[in-house]
Amino acid sequence: MLQAELQKELEEISRERDAYIHFEKGILRNREDIKGKRRQSVEGLGEHDIEGDEDEWQELTQRVTELEGEEVKLRKVLAERERELEQRRKEEQEMAEEEREVDRLETE
């Protein structure tokens, strides 16, 4: 259950990070439009949208970095939990085999 919860949290953070990255790319495209490099509208932003100020841009960039770091941490935790789960499964299998062997010896 813990593994499933961690996997769900990892997926949510990955989606949020991807949304920030997509938004960042949209802002970059919008900047190019405003500077006259591109004269077509930008999907999702529109050609008349106003880009954020430098503080907002830095905030978004920082949040993306934070999310990427959090994703790395969650992936490590998830990998560790998967190793623990595999170890528990092996232990359970060994115990089941021992129980079968004891049952076999008792019936002989």
pLDDT in tens, 10-36: 888 888 988 888 888 888 777 777 766
State the residue range of the domain holding 63.
2-82
What is the Rg, in whole angstroms, of the alpha carbon atoms belonging to the chain? 26
Q: Tell whether 88 is covered by a domain.
A: no
Is residue 97 in a domain? Answer: no
For the chain, give the DSSP string. Answer: -HHHHHHHHHHHHHHHHHHHHHHHHHHHHHHHHHTTS--SPPTTT-TTPPPP-HHHHHHHHHHHHHHHHHHHHHHHHHHHHHHHHHHHHHHHHHHHHHHHHHHHHHH-
Total domains present in the chain: 1
pTM score, two decimals? 0.48
